[in-house]
Amino acid sequence: MLADLKIPHKPDATDWQLLTLLQADARLSFSELGRRVNLSTPAVAERVRKLEDAGIIRGYHAEIDASLLGRGVLAFMHFTVAKRDEMRAVDYIKTVPEVLECHHVMGNISYVLKVQTTSITALEALLRDIGRYGETMTMLVLSSPVQSRQLEA
């Protein structure tokens, strides 16, 4: 039950303000964050450090347009693998740079993968390689009306 989960650091309203600001622009300085949430620079730095130490903030990233770097084919893949082959399959998937995300899920499939390749031909080769470990069903992304959303309180 969610109510039973022990959260090492339960963010308050100010923490959520900081999280919202950092999700929108992780390059904001502590002084600018402090100005926006009405705290001193050291107080903001301490709050952000606590959020990092608690694992709530796991990193800071640049958002990249992969299509402008030659990786214009985005797809989602349902991947079903037999239990006996699961460890080998996951070990392989971890080595494939085109696999951006891999999620173990419940239901009739084992994993959902988000992949981005340079071409349909490259996607086909990836499907062939992953297919050695199990069954795949792939959905090619035509457009993404909602690409990424900020987490809100």
Q: Specify the pTM.
A: 0.81
Torsion on CA atoms 12, 59, 74, 141, rounded to nearest 10: 0
Contact 80, 130 (CB under 8 A): no
From 3.40.190.10, 3.30.70.920, 3.40.50.2300, 3.40.50.850, which CATH number describes the 66-140 domain?
3.30.70.920
Tokens of 121: 């031909």
pLDDT at 7: 61
pLDDT at 9: 74
- Residue spans of the chain under pLDDT 70: 1-8
Distance CA 79, CA 90 (A): 11
Distance CA 78, CA 105 (A): 10
CATH 1.10.10.10-classified regions of the chain: 11-63
